[in-house]
Chains A and B, each alone.
Chain A
Amino acid sequence: MPFIDPWHALQEIWWLTIIPFSFGVGMVYKAWRLPDFKRYWPEVGLFTVQVTVGITGLGLVLGLIVDLILPRA
């Protein structure tokens, strides 16, 4: 049952949850930060993209270090 039982179908694609994660943080952050809300949703969208790309990039760099660089060091 949704919201009661865990959604175990997401076990293999858990990393995709970075997108709603960034979106939710962006909704709160922009509600707090913006002086007015004329561009609220575009700002939330931009924040979502920035955080998603940033964390994905960090993940790729860490993956490279752990899987490629460290085993050869």
Chain B
Amino acid sequence: MKPDRMLFAWLWPGGGYFAERRYARGLRAMGGVLFLYLSGLLIGGLDAVDRKHDGIWFYAQAFNGPIAFATDFTRSRLSSINGREIQDISWERTPSLGERWLAEDPEVMDAVRRQGLSHVNEVGTLFIALGGLMNLVLILEAGFATPKGAV
């Protein structure tokens, strides 16, 4: 077992291959995982990565590496109103927020607009989760497999 290679592979997609100087394979693997990741973000927006409200999905997404945590952190910042995430706010108990929404307050409207709904949220979440699971294969390869060729 090579834990350092596994760490590299988790830190950045394809990192395990780069640590072994197998750049051609690493670039292709990195391209694939990042393609899935960026496609998920393009489809579902930042809301496709939500550690707090889509916790089980995030277990798979976390295998993408620190980029998943950075995305979740950014989402929580951009989806907050007065320091609280929009999904944790009770609109019934906060009538002033409803009034701001009706008045099209930019801060409230931006946070609402960033919420993914229905298929778009599901597909975006799935793309990123599957990218994480594909990266898990690469992490296991980096930790346990013996390189057979030079490529």
Contact = CB atoms under 8 A, between A and B. Distances in A.
For A4, A11, A21, which residue has the most chain B Cβ atoms within 10 angstroms?
Answer: A4
B38 A25 contact: no
B137 A32 contact: yes
Interface residues of B, number: 45
B33 interface: yes
Interface string B74-86: 0000100000000
Given A24-B32, A28-B36, A36-B151, A6 B134 contact: no
Interface residues of A, number: 27
B121 A6 contact: yes
B32 A6 contact: no
Interface in B92-151: 113-124, 126-127, 130-131, 134-135, 137-138, 141, 148-149, 151
Contacts of A20: 35, 39
Nearest to B17: A31
A35 B134 contact: no
Contacts of B45: 3-7
Contacts of A25: 32, 36, 130, 134
25 contacts: A3-B38, A3-B45, A3-B46, A4-B45, A4-B78, A4-B114, A5-B113, A7-B43, A7-B120, A10-B119, A10-B123, A11-B120, A17-B127, A20-B35, A24-B131, A26-B32, A27-B35, A28-B29, A28-B131, A28-B134, A28-B135, A31-B29, A32-B29, A32-B137, A37-B25
